[in-house]
Amino acid sequence: MIPVQGFEGARVAVLGLGRSGLATVRALLAGGATPVCWDDQQQARDRAEAEGFELRDLHRQGAFDDIATLVTSPGIPHLYPQPNPVIRAALQAGVPVDNDIGLFFASLPAQGWDMLDQPPKVVAITGSNGKSTTVALLHHILESVGRDSQMAGNIGRGVLDIDPPGEAGVVVLELSSYQTELARALTPDVAILTNLSPDHLDRHAGLGGYFAAKRRLFAEGGPDRAIIGIDEDEGLFLAGQMSQASSDDRVIRVATGRKLSGPGWQVFARKGFLSEMRKGRQVGAIDLRQMMGLPGAHNHQNACAAYAAARVLGLAPRVIEAALATYPGLPHRSQTVAEVAGVRYVNDSKATNLDSAAKALSAFKNIRWICGGLEKEGGLGALGGQTGSVRKAYVIGREAAGFAMQLDVEAEVCTTMERAVACAVADAEPGDVVLLAPAAASFDQYDNFEQRGDDFISEVHKQLG
């Protein structure tokens, strides 16, 4: 646990009592604060009360009269599309609002760190797609060389629930735009932006607000090193803002599908090969094509970002290459779940938006594509021209018929995962890939994308016997 500092003897309100909320309450207590808790869900309040935490209805008049700070869970809107009533009441009372990420960065440095030969480091990773894979991949690389590493944030443990890192320890954080937008403290040693594509636009009042939330990690965080994907204009712009000159190696530019050149520090993947360039010279190269845990250009982009971070942390190219070769992949992200009779079955349930689905489709050939679900804003127009490898689509979801009509490939309306997998298995021929890449949210039929992916895996195993 990381005890929260700076609130000794103060009362701190905590709104939202899920995994991160309860960890925040415990960390506040450990730091000498008095937390008061609220969640609109009775079940969550019951869990907090069972641990002996003080409950207070933060909706009632005067609830913030004795409160020093409100700590809110990231999923609760604080500005757009409109503030949660509790957050608005706190702001009207002049009470600062923060989240667990802000408390973590303000509380992590410990006495005695200046006596360590290698103080701990924090690597914070954000972006639209590939965050979890990049976090898990860097964590895997570090563990493979015996380096103390912990994953936290949106993956692994809550940030305040981790163990205090010691000599040469590394904390690898996955941070969403919800988290970076609100955190009052953001001070990573290394910050990474994987990429940027439209997502959560209602929460940020458009693409500009979404980019601004991501940008805070760099502009306000002041990392020692910034690793920035420049395949989109926003990343290119951010890299330019963070650089003092073209040779400034505090910024590492990452790209896929093209070679980068110049006097600075670049890592790029092209035709399946990763290259590291410094001062105009190649200093590292890795063949990614046969690495089963990293299929497709999108995973090669993740590999470039993780490689760059590992280099910043002092690892040699050949050490990183050996670790990449043993990376097993994350569940629900280009996860091979079976390979029978020449047909490969891949679970990419995490492909919940068009950009991530397009990247999954580009990673394979001869695809039997299972897609559909709760369609996101903007329709499926952005998938036009991205389906050249699809032999047939099998559409699931409550609005499967409408979803299928927007596709530019042969599509069968299946509605359920059971029928979609059965039809795909029946149609598949040697050399085909049955790919779940929904291009949609899961909430019309499932609680989350993990449940949807597990259903796919279960049906595949059932159909294959």
Residues annotated in a binding site for ATP? 127-133
What interhelical angle do 100-107 and 19-30 show, nearest 10?
Answer: 40
Q: In sequence order, what are the residues at sequence separation of 6 or more whose Cβ sits closer than 8 angstroms to the Cβ of residue 341?
A: 430
Q: Which residues are annotated as a binding site?
A: 127-133
Which of helix, strand or coil describes residue 358? Answer: helix
- Tokens 């979801």 belong to which residue? 397
Radius of gyration of the chain (CA): 23
Cα dist from 215 to 99, 171, 350, whole Å: 17, 20, 24
Q: What whole-number distance in Å separates Cα of residue 303 and Cα of residue 297?
A: 10
Conformational region of residue 37, where left means phi above 0, alpha means psi within -120 to 50, and beta covers everything else: beta
Neighbouring CB atoms inside 10 A of 281's CB total 7
DSSP element (H, E) containing 435: strand 433-436
Are the C-beta atoms of 14 and 21 separated by less than 8 Å? yes
Q: What whole-number distance in Å separates Cα of residue 177 and Cα of residue 189?
A: 19
Are the C-beta atoms of 343 and 434 separated by less than 8 Å? yes
